[in-house]
Amino acid sequence: MDDEYWDTYPETLTTADVAKILHVGKPAVFARLHSGIIPAHQVVGSWIIFKAEIRAWLDSTSNQAPAGPTAVVDVLAAYGDELSYRDLMVLFDKTKPTIYRWLQTGEIPAFHVGNRWIVHRIQLRQRLLETSNQQLSRGKTPDTPSEKP
């Protein structure tokens, strides 16, 4: 799949997008999300699926994959050290009320300064690691060494 193909999809994918990409039904997508086969993040029952992570995952499973380790995907690379609720709306493809609810309940680590929410990229990156189905499905944390064949 080339860049032109991937450019037709948003940065944050829906389960319908993933079903279309994988040529499977939505129930199969949900089963694979729950099992950790498809990389994603679960925040308060919502699956956050980043196109860059799906693309890297598919590239790593291809029989035409280039030799070498899988590229590390940083979905926060394009953002500054501090993110606003608007940044989060774009990143997670969620509405303002949903983002505010996640901020108010602490699902997204943030500081409430006056009438503004400020999210530090480093804390959000940590939360994405914590909500990743990749860590849970393999029983690994970023500090867990890989098994040797």
Sequence spans of domains, the chain: 3-66
Query: What does the block give as tokens for 97?
Result: 């009320």
Q: Which helix (H) or strand (E) holds 54?
A: helix 51-61
Q: How confident is the model at residue 65 (pLDDT cuts 50, 70, 90)?
A: low
- Spell out the residues 6+ positions from residue 47 whose beta carbon is closer than 8 angstroms to its own: 15, 33, 40, 41
What pTM does this model have?
A: 0.80
Each residue's pLDDT tens digit, 92-108 = 999 999 999 999 999 99
Q: pLDDT at position 46, please?
A: 92
CA–CA gap between residue 1 and residue 58 (Å, rounded):
9
Largest CA distance in the chain: 53
Q: How confident is the model at residue 67 (pLDDT cuts 50, 70, 90)?
A: low
Mean pLDDT of the chain, nearest integer: 87
Give strand pairing partners of 111.
Answer: 118
Nearest CA-CA partner of 41 in 143, 145, 124: 124
Could you give the 3-state DSSP secondary structure of residue 73? coil
Q: Distance (Å, rounded) from C-alpha 91 to C-alpha 80?
A: 13
Q: What is the pLDDT of residue 143?
A: 40
